[in-house]
Amino acid sequence: MNMETEVVQALDVSWKDKLLGRNSNGSISSDIMDSEDFVFSDGDILKSTVNGIPTIEFSNKIQNILVKNMETTIVVKLLGHNIGYIVLHNRISVL
């Protein structure tokens, strides 16, 4: 009996990719993009130039959308040592 099998490897997402919001296929994921429709109104995005430097100003509505996924995100480097998630979560919860 000669059987051929195909090995399918699950693609692991690195911590860096998780932090950057990337999926296992490399695309950027966003719960906001999946769950909400964006409707931009006049005045939501204002582009201008100040002293020759381009600037972009966002309305409060747009700022809230942009930071929604980041509200519980933190980056920790503790003297070059790894710290466990549970320990880190407990310490942050106490704050």
Domain boundaries, the chain: 15-94
pTM above 0.95, yes or no: no
- DSSP assignment of 52-94 equals TEEEEEE-HHHHHHHHGGGTT-----BTTB---HHHHHHHHHH
Beta-bridge mates of residue 54: 49
What integer pLDDT is reported at residue 53 of this predicted model?
93
Beta-bridge mates of residue 45: 58
Q: Which has the closest alpha carbon to 71: 63, 59, 79, 82?
A: 63
Q: Mind listing the pLDDT tens digit for each residue in 43-95? A: 888 999 999 999 999 999 888 888 876 776 666 666 677 677 777 778 788 88
Question: 18 in helix, strand or coil?
Answer: helix
Give the residue with greater pLDDT, 23 vs 91: 91
